[in-house]
Amino acid sequence: MRHPHGARSTRTPGTVRGVLGALLALVALLALVVATPSSYAAPAPAAAPTTSTSTGTSTSTKVVVRRTLRVVLRLVNATRATGYTCGDTFYPAVRPVRLDRKLNRAAARFARLLAKRDFFAHESPDGSGPGDRITAARYRWQAYGENIAAGYETAAAVVQGWLDSPGHCVNLMNGTYTEVGLGHAYRADSDYGDYWVQDFARPR
């Protein structure tokens, strides 16, 4: 099932919209952008992609995950370098984002939680949101955005899914963000198997 969803907010209240994708598809995704603490809305849905970190603990699994995430980062920055049309709007080239250790920690932890608890939403079961998780990782931010996705098996597929979804695409092309954290987790007995998290941010 393809289940895209997007959200973004500023200092003013946002709007919320939800769209269900085709029932026979096997993928899901969400996008969230936040410019101020604890203030965010959930607008139009998109496709189903995100970044990666894994629940596996073996050295070989960790190496594969790191390589996968490097591919995600490369594809994201290649798109930012050339510009991209998100929906009907062209977004010009912006500077690349660089990986941040603390954002990586926040994204990886949330990806593992999505897989372990088998849910798909920006809000955790305890009620915490992206800003709370990023702050808990000791990252001091002035703006952030989150894309999540489920069901995509490769880095290329998840990035393309985001780009095909206007809301997620705008997150990816947002020049405000200078840093990113990527997370991926896999759980065979979960609804979607693969779960991806991408946390963009701009530090204070």
State the chain's maximal CA–CA distance in angstroms. Answer: 46
Q: Which residues contact 13 (CB under 8 A, 6 or more apart)?
A: 39, 41
Q: Which two tokens stand for residue 68?
A: 């996968």
Mean pLDDT of all residues in the chain? 78
Read off the pLDDT of residues 157-183 as tens digits, 9 standing for 90 and up.
999 999 999 999 999 999 999 999 999
> What was the pLDDT predicted at 61?
73
- For residue 30, what pLDDT is reported? 58
Q: How confident is the model over 148-156, as a mean pLDDT?
A: 94
pTM for the structure as a whole? 0.76
pLDDT band of 125, cuts 50, 70, 90: very high
Residue with tokens 């209240």: 13
Inter-CA distances, 79 with 83, 94, 135, 169, 172, Å: 6, 9, 28, 10, 9
Q: Would you say the C-alpha torsion 111, 117, 120, 121 has a positive or negative sign?
A: negative
Question: Which residues touch 58 (CB under 8 Å, ≥6 apart)?
Answer: none
The whole-angstrom separation of Cα 36 and Cα 111 is 23
18-69 pLDDT per residue, tens: 333 333 233 445 565 544 332 222 222 333 443 333 334 455 577 888 899 9
pLDDT the model gives residue 60: 58
